[in-house]
């Protein structure tokens, strides 16, 4: 699943159509909160069309963040099935104004049409279609068909918005290297003008991308000793991130104009969407990225043919 | 050469005779350097040092690394004079009969002898033991032995340093050791100590140390539960210089599984750590103290 952010939405003039896969309700909420928060901060309208339980959790989560008065939660029945005529008309109605609309919709069993109507292409609309990994096969097939033309991940992690200068190039063999890389990233961020809380948040976000890279490098969880539930849970969550010495994550940090863009490239880690991280049963990559999104401007995952890149983008207040 | 393990650890590396009982956890090379510095400091402070460890194939204590060129400052002279006494583990097992009670009696005898000889303070340290710690019975035996050190420290001016080799010991041994020693421990990036009724965490808590940190949190909660009047765990986070999602999750998971009526009270929490814990999800059993602290960059 790609973590779609409001920053990504800015890239498109008209319709920006994305597909995301999620593992469970919590991961969908974790995905949506930073996305909605940023969209609202940027003055965009937000429409969330999801099942009632997800809407309730989102409502609660967002109440702490931004208040929910500026978000609309229409019933899924009001929208109709994805690709249906009602679906197209609803979206066209919402996006009929000067303000960009971010619509998060959830694929569900029911009426499934022939994809998003081309008539929406000129509208100021970011349409994010979410589909459960374990959805009904017909739903999943429709989702895959609808989004094949709009790849869920960018092929190139460098979208042109990141400043070009490489301020730091280093690598990680395992979690033992995290502290050292953290210090290098901090130095690069300071040189780029990050200070105080912004600096700490940026270092944390890049660190998490590196930590995720280390986890993806590792193949299997370590053995667990017998013990009580608390102990086992904590042990499981910790995970063993000692790296394979033959494989490394490559870290590139670019800075400029109060911006920092960090790419953590993990060889051979592509195609592990939604999978539990090694040593961390129940914790998947998307949940982690959802958390990281709170601490930077944007975080995203980009798959190449033989690698996965985790990209963190941060900005100083002056650069926003 | 000073060991980086002890940098900024003055509250844990106490003066000779301070009755401390700490764990030093590090990869073997760093562990040796850290233990050597600790022993050197005790020797310089006038303590009798009782060192228990593993001999090389030559079985000669005078060739053990602690008295060699990379060992404790003044170690060779102290060994020759009797200020530093070495006992290898097979001999320890033979003398104590391989039981916790036997070990405790043997150590009491050693202490009495040291004080009879006129030493005013004693330091005891033991190398990593490679105990398999595969079942609850052995873990309980281990905990009983460690309580023995606490008891000795409560009666006499004794400092104890337990050494644990990261990367050589089994996960189970590290888990149990960290849990038992949560009150006072020094690891490669972080440390913990107990003071003023609070568990103080110091340093950088990240994914690399998450497993050992989780063990210590578990031990701290378990120990707090022994006080029925106030079974809460008070944690001071003001000296944390970095915390990541892995450790935040560890802490909140542990707090989520606390016993009924038990709370985790977080004091002097840096703003970003507070935000991180909130993002991870605060269970009802967690509350914050009122003192503010800024996490400076």
Q: Does A235 touch chain B (CB under 8 A)?
A: yes
Contact A91, A115 (CB under 8 A): no
Chain B residues within an 8 Å CB radius of A179: 189, 204, 206, 208
Contact B33, B5 (CB under 8 A): yes
Highest mean pLDDT of the ranges A110-124, A221-235, B46-60: B46-60
| Size of the A and B interface in Cβ pairs below 8 Å | 109
* Token pair 């969880």: residue: A221
Q: What is the pLDDT of residue A74?
A: 75
CB-closest option in B133, B135, B208 to A178: B208
Q: What is the pLDDT of residue A232?
A: 40
Q: What is the pLDDT of residue A278?
A: 54
Interface contact A225-B134, CB threshold 8 A? yes
R_g (Cα) of chain A, nearest Å:
20
Q: Which residue of A has its CA nearest to B251?
A: A234
Contact B288, B266 (CB under 8 A): yes
Interface contact B208-A227, CB threshold 8 A? no
> Which pLDDT tens digit goes with each residue over A226-256?
333 343 444 344 444 444 446 899 999 999 8
The DSSP result for chain B, as a single string, is ---GGGTT-TTTSPPTTS--EEEEEEEHHHHHHHHHHHHHHHHHTT-EEEEEE---TT--GGGSGGGSTTS-TTHHHHHHHTSEEEEEHHHHHHHHTTSHHHHHHHHHHHHHHHHHTT-S-EEEEE--------SHHHHHHHHHHHHHHHHHHHHSSEEEEEEEEETTS-HHHHHHHHHHTTTEEE-SSEEEEEETTEEEEEEEE-GGGHHHHHHHHHHHHHHHTT-TT---EEEEEEEEEEE-HHHHHHHHHHHHTPPTT--EEEES--HHHHHHHHHH---TTEEE-S-------
Q: Which residue of B has its CA nearest to A229?
A: B257
CB-closest option in B245, B295, B297 to A288: B245
CB-closest option in B171, B189, B207 to A211: B207
Residue of B181, B166, B294 whose CA lies nearest to B241? B294
Measured between alpha carbons, how far is A90 from B250 in angstroms, rounded to an integer? 44
Q: pLDDT-based confidence at B76, cuts 50/70/90?
A: very high
Residue of A319, A314, A316 whose CA lies nearest to A208? A314
Residues B247-272 have a mean pLDDT of 92
B99's CB contacts (< 8 A; 6+ apart) are: none
Interface contact A226-B135, CB threshold 8 A? yes
Q: Please report the ipTM that was assigned to this predicted complex.
A: 0.89
Instruction: Evaluate if residue A163 carries a pLDDT over 80.
Output: no
> Which pLDDT tens digit goes with each residue over B219-238?
999 999 888 788 899 999 99
* Token pair 């965490």: residue: B201
Interface contact A179-B208, CB threshold 8 A? yes
Chain B residues within an 8 Å CB radius of A186: 297
Q: What is the pLDDT of residue A27?
A: 81
Contact B211, B171 (CB under 8 A): yes
Q: What is the pLDDT of residue B54?
A: 95
> Which pLDDT tens digit goes with each residue over A172-207?
999 999 999 999 999 999 999 999 999 999 999 999
Length of chain B (residues): 297
Give percent of chain B above pLDDT 70. 96
The structure's pTM equals: 0.69
Q: pLDDT-based confidence at B111, cuts 50/70/90?
A: very high
């Amino acid at each position: 699943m790609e973590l779609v952010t409001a920053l990504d939405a800015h890239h498109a003039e008209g319709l920006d159509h994305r597909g995301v896969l999620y593992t469970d309700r919590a991961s969908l909420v974790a995905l949506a909160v930073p996305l909605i928060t940023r969209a609202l901060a940027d003055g965009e309208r937000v429409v969330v069309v999801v099942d009632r339980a997800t809407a309730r959790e989102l409502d609660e989560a967002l109440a702490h963040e931004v208040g929910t008065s500026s978000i609309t939660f229409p019933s899924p029945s009001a929208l109709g099935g994805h690709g249906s005529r009602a679906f197209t008309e609803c979206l066209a109605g919402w996006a009929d104004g000067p303000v960009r609309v971010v619509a998060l919709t959830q694929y569900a069993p029911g009426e499934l049409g022939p994809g998003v109507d081309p008539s929406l292409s000129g509208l100021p609309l970011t349409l994010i279609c979410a589909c459960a990994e374990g959805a009904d096969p017909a739903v999943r097939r429709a989702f895959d068909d609808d989004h094949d033309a709009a790849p869920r991940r960018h092929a190139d992690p460098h979208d042109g918005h990141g400043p070009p200068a490489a301020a730091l190039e280093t690598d990680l063999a395992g979690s033992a290297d995290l502290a050292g890389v953290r210090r290098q990233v901090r130095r690069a961020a300071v040189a780029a003008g990050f200070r105080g809380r912004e600096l700490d948040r940026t270092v944390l976000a890049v660190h998490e991308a590196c930590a995720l890279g280390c986890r993806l490098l590792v193949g299997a969880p370590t053995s667990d000793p017998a013990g009580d539930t608390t102990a086992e849970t904590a042990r499981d969550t910790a995970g063993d991130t000692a790296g394979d010495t033959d494989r490394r994550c490559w870290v590139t940090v670019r800075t400029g104009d109060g911006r920092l863009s960090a790419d953590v490239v993990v060889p051979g880690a592509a195609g592990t969407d939604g999978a539990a991280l090694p040593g961390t049963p129940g914790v998947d990559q998307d949940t982690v990225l959802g958390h990281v999104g709170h601490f930077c401007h944007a975080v995203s995952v980009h798959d190449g043919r033989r690698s996965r890149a985790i990209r963190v983008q941060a900005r100083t207040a002056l650069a926003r | 050469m000073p060991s980086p393990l002890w940098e900024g650890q003055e509250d844990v590396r106490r003066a000779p005779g301070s009755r401390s009982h700490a764990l030093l956890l590090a990869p073997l090379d760093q562990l040796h350097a850290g233990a050597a510095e600790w022993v050197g400091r005790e020797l310089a402070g006038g303590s009798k040092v009782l060192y228990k460890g593993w001999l090389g194939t030559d079985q000669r204590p005078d060739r053990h690394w602690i008295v060699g060129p990379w060992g404790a400052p003044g170690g060779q002279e102290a060994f020759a004079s009797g200020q530093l006494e070495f006992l290898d583990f097979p001999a320890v097992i033979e003398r104590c009969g391989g039981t916790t009670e036997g070990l405790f009696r043997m150590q009491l005898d050693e202490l009495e002898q040291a004080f009879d000889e006129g030493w005013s303070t004693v330091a005891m340290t033991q190398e990593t033991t490679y105990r398999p710690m595969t079942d609850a019975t052995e873990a309980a035996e281990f905990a009983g032995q460690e309580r023995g050190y606490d008891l000795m420290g409560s009666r006499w001016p004794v400092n104890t340093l337990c050494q644990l080799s990261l990367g050589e010991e089994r996960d189970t041994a590290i888990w149990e050791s960290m849990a038992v020693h949560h009150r006072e421990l020094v690891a490669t990036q972080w440390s913990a100590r107990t003071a003023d009724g609070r568990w103080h965490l110091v340093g950088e808590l990240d994914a690399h140390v998450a497993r050992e940190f989780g063990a210590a949190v578990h031990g701290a909660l378990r120990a707090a539960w022994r006080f029925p009047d106030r079974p809460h765990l008070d944690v001071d986070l003001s000296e944390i210089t970095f915390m990541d999602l892995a450790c935040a999750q560890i802490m909140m998971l542990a707090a989520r599984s606390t016993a009924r009526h038990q709370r985790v009270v977080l004091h002097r929490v840096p703003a970003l750590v507070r935000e991180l814990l909130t993002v991870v999800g605060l269970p009802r059993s967690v509350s914050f103290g009122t003192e503010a602290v800024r996490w400076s960059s």
